[in-house]
């Protein structure tokens, strides 16, 4: 089973989802992440929160959703968009097949200016994603 976490910039929320899924539920399949307008790098605060929770944060990349819609791409079984409702530009899955689709509206922690508030927002985003992934996996 392949799970794709989608957001616009693919620098934080979707990256967190990919790592959490892969480290907790590798026996179920593989997690990936992508964005409609990838920033091209993983947000340093995302790397920091992953490391603080004991996750491996190497070899992560910000990539375009087209990587997963190409003819030679891995089949995606579940697509989870993680943009908040205000984003209005969260990518829509346009790949082959008929994957299960979920939407988890999470606020973007990267837009917060104050460093203490940003750290708290990343912590809240991490915990929300982990909770949702743990709840979701048994029903897939």
Q: Does domain 2-139 match CATH 3.40.50.2300?
A: yes
Domain boundaries along the sequence of the chain: 2-139
Both tokens of 102, joined, read 């979920």
Task: List, for residues 55-88, the tens digit of each pLDDT value.
Answer: 989 999 999 999 998 888 888 999 999 988 544 5
> Over 80: is that where the pLDDT of 96 sits?
no
Contact indicator for 102, 81 with CB cutoff of 8 Å: yes
- Cα separations (Å) of 2 from 5, 31, 75, 85, 116? 10, 6, 7, 25, 35
What's the predicted TM-score (pTM) here? Answer: 0.92
Which among 20, 28, 63 is positioned nearest to 42, based on CA atoms?
63
**Which residue stretches of the chain are H helix?**
13-24, 44-52, 115-136
Averaged pLDDT of the chain: 90
């Amino acid at each position: 089973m392949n799970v794709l976490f989608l957001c616009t910039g693919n620098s934080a929320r979707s990256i967190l989802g990919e790592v959490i899924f892969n480290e907790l539920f590798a026996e179920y399949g593989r997690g990936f992440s992508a964005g409609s307008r990838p920033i091209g790098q993983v947000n340093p605060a995302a790397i920091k929160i992953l490391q603080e929770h004991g996750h491996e944060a190497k070899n992560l990349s910000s990539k375009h959703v087209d990587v997963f819609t190409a003819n030679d791409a891995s089949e995606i079984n579940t697509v989870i968009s993680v943009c908040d409702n205000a984003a209005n530009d969260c990518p829509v899955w346009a790949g082959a097949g008929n994957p299960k689709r979920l939407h988890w509206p999470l606020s973007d922690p990267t837009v917060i200016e104050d460093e203490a508030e940003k750290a708290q927002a990343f912590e809240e985003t991490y915990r929300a994603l982990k909770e949702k992934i743990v709840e979701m996996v048994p029903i897939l």
